[in-house]
A and B are shown apart, each in its own frame.
Chain A
């Protein structure tokens, strides 16, 4: 028997791999996390022998409708409506639900930006279907079921998750888990301009919105060089030392979950399964023990350097170059040497 709270559906009516795409705050570009997801959807759709659909909703987004096609979509469903100029999770969630209900995709993926993480479970619940958070890969099993794969626990076990009896199969994906596909302006696809009844926001009003004036700082997920500190740094001041090294190397400072929990560095700079996945050329892990959930976030780093006082720290197993020693001595020695080599001078 099936739960009576779930509307009856016919599984074979559901076809296609859909992605929800969002424009940036200026409405000038589609967010990179959405483009990355289109690339991942393309791969899955090819395995299933079906199409990639993109739900593009917002105000003034019609002008961006070709973009998803250049990145791999076959069909773009646009809801461009002034009433979507303000974001409300219930309204946007409802619109995504209505749009997808009309076309019945087999798979519906939502970028796990902060808004996406807020919206995705609401959309899934509207369908009375399940959802897999933060999936890291997708596959099709021998029976033709879509399998969403996520790290469930501590980062070292991958859980394969299937969705029984309900559609769409839904998942959210964190930024930078998949690469951004090549933009190809010669690709062709269909654009459907959709009219959806936009519900008025019920019981919620936006009172104010101010852009955050971030310092001219590269976000860690885009940095080429990252110097990251862990619990062993011991203080906020310790991170200043890391910052000096990062400045010399043209990089940024990041931290492990324990460093973030201790309040030495912000959560937007947390590397790991519950933080961000990073892909620098050089990752220097300082006084980070190397918990699996942290190591999971640096899989795409080209070279990993570990500096740790404990020779048995697991991080050394995940490092290309390891230095056993006190960071309070090793980092100043590195800084001194770099300065004597003329690195960082005059920049």
Chain B
């Protein structure tokens, strides 16, 4: 029986983000949000552990209420319950203030294991897991590809640039799941129906949590955006060839030879 808490983020689907060519600003309208795909891998790992050992999976997210759609998705995958942590007072948080709120939420839950995705697709900081571990003073390890219980301890495997490692963690502990390591399961209709009838989503505002307004949201965030600028484009030659593939190959290799980028043996 493993009590697990999974943190997920509701993010704009960055692959479809574009710039307004006239104003040079981000077009945010109409961009669909999704559950950060790497967080679905964290949910998948929790569900596999639950399948193997039994237990309970609680998913939490700090977000505006639109994230309910995302919570419904992971409940549809098989998570047991979800908490939407939502309050205007949490808005504008950097990773320190975000991790503080999440840690305070998790403190109120009974848990053995906290699982995060490796990073998000919108900001890719990979900060929040380690920060939550720091607030809660827990052992933690990132980039986990496999986890199992042995004698009440969690044994995890992970890969770094030049080594594979196996660690044993006493519970409670925190892990993040290596991105691209697991295939998240699909939503099941039976789970969706359960969500409909049981409504296992709770919303916790700061009225519930009662956190110091100086520690949360914009005010609790030491880092602040001072300016945004466009990335200057690297000047390139922009010579284009259209036509027969053989001719194209000849055209290209001539240019590369001229520049010494291809050496004739």
* B130 close to A3 (CB less than 8 A): no
B47-55, B61-69, B77-85, B153-161: which one contacts chain A? Answer: B153-161
Instruction: Indicate which residue in A130, A157, A321, A342 contacts B264 across the interface (CB closer than 8 Å).
Output: A342
* B238 close to A320 (CB less than 8 A): yes
| Given known A-B contacts A209-B165, A303-B261, A320 and B237 have beta carbons under 8 A apart | yes
Interface residues of B in 209-230 (CB under 8 A from A): 212, 214-215, 219-230
Instruction: Indicate which residue in B96, B142, B179, B231 contacts A292 across the interface (CB closer than 8 Å).
Output: B231
**Secondary structure dominating the interface of A:** mixed
Residue of B nearest to A154 (CB): B17
Name the distance in Å between A337's Cβ and chain B's nearest Cβ: 5
Interface residues of B in 122-175 (CB under 8 A from A): 122-131, 133-135, 138-143, 155, 159-170, 173
CA–CA, A257 and B119, complex, Å: 14
CA–CA, A99 and B169, complex, Å: 26
B2-10, B188-196, B198-206, B240-248: which one contacts chain A? Answer: B240-248
Instruction: Indicate which residue in B135, B230, B237, B262 contacts A338 across the interface (CB closer than 8 Å).
Output: B262
Whether, in the assembled complex, A155 has its beta carbon less than 8 Å from a beta carbon of chain B, the answer is yes
| Given known A-B contacts A203-B169, A346-B265, A132 and B19 have beta carbons under 8 A apart | no
Q: Which residues of B contact A322 (CB under 8 A)?
A: 238-241
Q: Which residues of B contact A129 (CB under 8 A)?
A: 96, 222
Q: Which residues of A contact B155 (CB under 8 A)?
A: 207
- 0/1 string, A152-183, CB within 8 A of B gives 1: 11111111111111100000000000000000
* A122 close to B170 (CB less than 8 A): no
Q: Which residues of B contact A317 (CB under 8 A)?
A: 233, 236, 238
* A160 close to B249 (CB less than 8 A): no
| Given known A-B contacts A90-B140, A343-B265, A164 and B224 have beta carbons under 8 A apart | yes
* B238 close to A113 (CB less than 8 A): no
Whether, in the assembled complex, B1 has its beta carbon less than 8 Å from a beta carbon of chain A, the answer is no
Name the distance in Å between A29's Cβ and chain B's nearest Cβ: 13
CA–CA, A130 and B256, complex, Å: 46
* A114 close to B131 (CB less than 8 A): no
Q: Which residues of A contact B179 (CB under 8 A)?
A: 267
Whether, in the assembled complex, A124 has its beta carbon less than 8 Å from a beta carbon of chain B, the answer is yes
CA–CA, A122 and B236, complex, Å: 41
Interface residues of B in 85-123 (CB under 8 A from A): 94-96, 99-100, 119, 121-123
- Range of interface residues on B (Cβ < 8 Å): 35 or more
* B138 close to A203 (CB less than 8 A): yes
Q: Which residues of B contact A254 (CB under 8 A)?
A: none
Instruction: Specify which of B37, B94, B134, B223 lies most central, judged by the most chain A CB atoms within 10 Å of its CB.
Output: B223
A residues near B (Cβ < 8 Å) are 1-6, 25, 88-90, 93, 113-115, 117-122, 124-126, 128-134, 141, 145, 147, 151-166, 201-212, 214, 225, 249, 257-258, 260-261, 263, 267-268, 273-274, 281-282, 291-293, 296, 299, 302-305, 311, 316-326, 329-330, 332-334, 336-338, 341-346
- A sample of 16 more A-B contacts (CB under 8 A), given A117-B142, A157-B26, A160-B226, is A3-B220, A90-B140, A93-B134, A121-B129, A125-B130, A132-B223, A133-B125, A160-B227, A204-B173, A205-B167, A257-B15, A282-B256, A299-B234, A303-B256, A334-B253, A343-B262
8 A-B pairs with the lowest CB-CB distances in the bound complex, closest first:
A130-B223, A130-B222, A125-B134, A3-B215, A133-B125, A329-B245, A203-B170, A203-B139
Pull 29 A–B residue pairs with CB atoms less than 8 Å apart, ordered by A.
A1-B214, A3-B219, A88-B139, A89-B142, A113-B161, A131-B96, A133-B123, A152-B228, A156-B230, A158-B229, A166-B222, A204-B168, A207-B168, A208-B165, A208-B166, A210-B163, A211-B163, A212-B161, A274-B121, A274-B124, A320-B237, A322-B238, A322-B241, A333-B248, A336-B249, A341-B253, A341-B264, A343-B264, A345-B265
B residues near A (Cβ < 8 Å) are 14-15, 17, 19, 26, 37, 94-96, 99-100, 119, 121-131, 133-135, 138-143, 155, 159-170, 173, 179-180, 212, 214-215, 219-231, 233-234, 236-243, 245-246, 248-253, 255-256, 259, 261-265
